[in-house]
Structure 1
Amino acid sequence: MTDRRTLRSSLPGPPNEHRATPTGARPAGDPLASGTMRPAAVAPPLVSAVARGVALVVVLPVRLLWELIAAAGRLLHRYLLRPVGRFLRRWLLAPLAWVLHRLVWLPLVWCARHLLWLPLVWVARTVIWPALLWVTRHGLRPVLVVLGRVLVWLATYLVLWPLQWLGAVLTPVGRLVVDAVVGAWRTAGRVLRLLHRLLLRPLGRGLRWLWRHTVRPLLSGVRWVWSVTVVPVARGLRAVWRATVAPAARWARRSVLAPARLAVREVLNALGLRR
């Protein structure tokens, strides 16, 4: 077999990048060569332009104002509030705390301990406690014994005996009251049983008959009417909603909201405001 030479055109023309590449290879700038080409949804030009205009007119001034306020706050905190706080803490609060601790608190503690607490402890230990012991041993014990005997006599003759007499008197009355309560309870039970036989049982039977022959058929008819009328209408409305409103909402979300969000994101990225 003989080699065949490829005939090239001698006419001048724009360079063809595909001629210099071998078969099956792609140029270096071709996105398909690196495998990074991804299908992207291209927004309609009019919707994208409107979204970018809204982002420039509404979102951008608010974002710039917010960034300006945040920068002013950071500068104010860094160069004014923090140095003032350090100065006040170092040159005002710390010396004032030292002066109060050394000249006020420590003298007050010393005075309270040596002029108030220790003298009170000495007086209580040497004067009050021995006096209390002597009074308890020689004067208070007989008084307490006599007082206890008087209290026992009063409790015996003024409380215990009257309670015993009152119990003896009220025992027959209590028996009569108990008998009356028991009799009333039995009578009430008989009346309730008679009322159940003569009134409640027939009334229950009548209500049961009314439920079986009127209310239950009425509820069955209402349920049948509901299943025949309301349920088909609701299903039809749901089908109409799925056929009309849901596709329109999906189209608005994909064709209007998504391009607007993408445009705002591009504008913020271009201005360097998005982090």
Structure 2
Amino acid sequence: MDLEKRPAERPVPRAEGCLTVAVRLPVRIVVFVLVVPVRMAWDALVAGGRLLRDTVLRPAGRALLWVAWAVAVWPWVTLWRYVVVPAGRILGWFGYVLLVVPAVQLYDRVLTPLGHAVAWAARGTGAALARVLRGVLAGLGRVYVWVLVPVGRVLARLLKGAGTGLAAVGLGVYRTVVWLTRYLIVVPAMWLYEWVLAPAGRAVAWTARGLGQLVRMIFVGIGTALHRTLWVLLVLPALAVWRWVLVPVGRVLAVVGREAVDAFAHAWRVAGHLSLAVGRFLAWLLRRAFVEPARWAYRTVLTPLGHVVQDTVLRPAAEAARAAGRITRQALAAARESARQARADVRRMLFGTPREPEPLRPAKPRGEPGAAAARTLGSSTTALTKD
């Protein structure tokens, strides 16, 4: 057993002919020159399409979806929820009260008793008819046993005696007919078949077989001649054209097509890298030309200016607004308190001072007794027996 690990076999590179090597470089150059503009235009269209999708189409689609929901779906949902469903429930309740309940009552109070009565009458009628039929069948059975069976036996004995003579006469007639048929029809027919029809049929079959072989030989000769002629005139030239013209041309075209496809794939990949580099360069140029100056202006000019405006204008204005709001709330609270006191004074002048409720007495604890409930000298009760 071989326990050593064998190295992985590397794939053997495909042998390439001189035609492949000669065709590859010019085809790749031509395809690269033709593919680079197409790939760059394709990448530009893809980038523009993505930008258009993210900035225009997707928000527009969401807005259209919201409008379609508000115009087409929401009214129907509202109509279903607040009109159709309550109306359906009301109609269902009316249908239950007006149709189902009367139908159930009719079934329980009328149809069920009527059905029981009809079933009872049908059972009684069926029992009576069964008894009548049973009596009729019993009478017919007695007629069959006591009348028909004896009469049948008598008739059978009479027919048996007369049938013996008729059977003898019929047997003689049958034998006579069989003998005449055999010697007048069958025997002559067999002789005619053996000595006339069979030899004539054999002669006709031998003649037809000879004619068939002759015709077959004629047609086989004609077919062989046509086959050799077509082979020489059509098949051999077609084979020569296929072998010496079409196969080499096809191989050349296959090599050119394969190299063209490989060159197109290679040029597409290289053009993609080139397009990516050009796109990155354009992005860097746009960033240096527009984004960086805008960022610098925002950081160095607008942000300090905004902080100055916030510290000198907005923050004092906000503090003043908060102070004004605080003063306004205090004034409103004082006005509400004054109005509440005025209403209380008017109510006191008209209806008098309301009686204050008596304070609740604390509940007597049921634990240890107090000092007044201790042992007394003038009574027979103690603190333990007094409640």
Query: Shorter-chain TM-score category?
Result: 0.3 to 0.5
The structure showing larger relative contact order (alpha-carbon pairs under 8 Å, at least 6 residues apart) is: 1
- Larger Rg, first or second structure (1 or 2): 2
**What TM-score results when the alignment is normalised by the length of structure 2?**
0.36
**What TM-score results when the alignment is normalised by the length of structure 1?**
0.48
